[in-house]
Structure 1
């Protein structure tokens, strides 16, 4: 098999599966380089290959067409975008549900605070009313005592 016909048919042969996307290293550990096909079947079509494979045709080394690698990359990015969109949608639903729960909690706390404030205001009003009664009684008592004192002074003055 000639080198060029090998490159044109290697992607469909029974060799190891190519990694998804753009490869960076061959199975042998060698860095990947791009080459151009010179076959009739794939003229000027670019492919990935390691330098060792170019020298040793009979060994199994990575081979991948550049256009197929780029399509793999695009498909992987599209899949990641779909997953991100799904995660974002799930997050949006989760945040909205949490906000709804928090709004209910806030309303419940607000209602409890209003009831508590109303109770405190009622207690304060009752205390003010009670204090008013006590002060009124105290004032009446003071007036009564003052009246007794004034009457006593008038009576004593009248006797003099």
Structure 2
């Protein structure tokens, strides 16, 4: 409960006091009493500590995420390189096979031309 001081030392200064103590008009009861301005300062300090803790956790999570992203990137890069290599190998095998066929056709045509030139020449 928030109250206003009526003392001569702290006139009109706001403070918190336990509602139970106020309702029973207890004095010197060791119940919670705190000046409002001090309570705000304590709350600000507690929030600063919590903020620092959250910042540290965020930094840890960010570092872990960066590491995870690096690993994923490397894995994707390796898979892409492997796939490109396999496609290049397939293209080389296919072009080699096509070249062999073309060479056979060229040799057969050359032999045919030589044969025809000897026949008609």
Do these two structures clear the TM 0.5 threshold for a shared fold by scoring above it?
yes
| Counterpart Cα distance in 1 of 2:85 and 2:76 | 14
5 Å matches for 1:37-76?
39=8, 42=9, 45-48=11-14, 68-76=35-43
Q: What is the alpha-carbon distance in structure 1 between the residues aligned to residue 60 and residue 76 of structure 2?
A: 24
How many residue pairs get aligned? The number is 104
In structure 1, how many angstroms separate the alpha carbons of the residues matched to 2:73 and 2:7?
Answer: 73
User: CA 1:152–1:125 in structure 2 vs 1: closer, same or farther (change >3 Å)?
Assistant: same
Gaps of 5+ in 1: 1-16, 19-25, 27-33, 50-59, 61-66, 155-160
1:134 maps onto 2:101 in alignment: yes
Gaps of 5+ in 2: 16-24, 26-33
Q: Does 1:122 align with 2:53?
A: no
TM-score when normalising by structure 1: 0.55
Q: Which residue of 2 aligns with 1:109?
A: 76
Q: Specify which of 61, 85, 103 is matched with residue 94 of structure 1.
A: 61
Q: CA RMSD in A?
A: 2.6
Pair 113,38 (structure 1): closer, same or farther in 2 beyond 3 Å: closer
Q: Which has the higher contact order (CA 8 A, sep 6+)?
A: 1
- Deviant stretches of 4+, over 4 Å: none
Higher helix share goes to which structure?
Answer: 2
| Deviation by residue 1:111-156 (Cα, 9 ceiling, x = unmatched) | 12222222222222111211111110011111122122222221xx
Q: TM-score, normalised by structure 2?
A: 0.71
Paired with 1:95 and 1:70, the residues of 2 have a C-alpha distance of 36
